[in-house]
Amino acid sequence: MYTTLITTGQLMTLQQTQKPLMLFDCSFELMKPLEGDQQYLQAHLAGAVRADLARHLSHHLVRAEPVEASSPSTGSGRTDVPASGGRHPLPSREHFAAWLASIGFDSSMQAVVYDRQGANYCGRLWWMLKWVGVDAVAVLDGGLQAWQAAGGAVAAGADAPRRASSFTPGPAKAVLATSQTVAEKLARPSQTLIDARATPRFRGEVEPLDPVAGHIPGALNRPFGLNLGPDGKFKPAAQLKAEFLELLGGRDPSSVVHLCGSGVSAVPNLIAMELAGFGTTALYAGSWSEWCSDPARPVAQG
């Protein structure tokens, strides 16, 4: 069972066994939301399911998926309540589980997620699967580029329809922080915020996406790309551990809550801390886009 990373060689070996396996292509381009679908159609790991950030891994488009009669309704045509705010709000665990069931995923499977963007988007699905109780989910280290360089099989075109399963969510194996929990612990030693956005955005020098520039007071900055080496793969565990210890400066690693702009690019930092041996840390899924939507919440710059 692979629970954090899987190498191309390990995946090739796994494909030769009888272990149930599902691959997910999470490629996405933030400024060109339709580009990920085109990338998938051009080339993807043979047999991979398409998992789109906007369509499958965020609330506002998941609401169009079929739901059970017992699902909550807001009375406004929306049949789901999001689990977070922000630009990419989390769907509820129940609705995400319904999508997994619709594509035939079940808890006996090993899930492998990948993208073309340095684990920026596939990390979201990795975390969400943990959140609905799946432990056997791993990021393909190096993504599609590493797979193709190793001679792995790729396919083009749309995926074939799949038979539905009866997947239901189990106990969460991921920790979800909210605006309320972050605000309650602000400036306390029991919480250390790590912001994964690029440093100019963190400082408030530029803000291309959200209405307010800056960061949550007291947050530390570690752009998510720092977790990868020149080959696009995660750095060795010992190196990651040393870098995070330096960043934390004596703060308790278990107190860390990760954030970014909308709860997506924060996940590579979370994965890196797990690889480094720090265990499970929390994700503020709403992140800066949710935090800055309330003018009463404090903002820092610089």
Dump strand ranges (E) for 94-188. 110-114, 137-140, 154-155, 175-177
Contact 4, 240 (CB under 8 A): no
The overall longest dimension of the chain from CA atoms, in Å, is 55
In this structure, what token pair is assigned to residue 241?
A: 């551990």
Are 117 and 142 in contact, with CB atoms under 8 Å apart?
no
Which of 26, 122, 260, 292 does the annotation list as catalytic? 260
Distances (CA, A) of 109 to 17, 47, 106, 166: 12, 14, 6, 13
Radius of gyration of the CA atoms of the chain, in A: 19
Q: In the numeric block, which tokens belong to residue 49?
A: 């399911």
Q: Is 260 a catalytic residue?
A: yes
CA distance 14 to 152: 13
Active site residues: 260
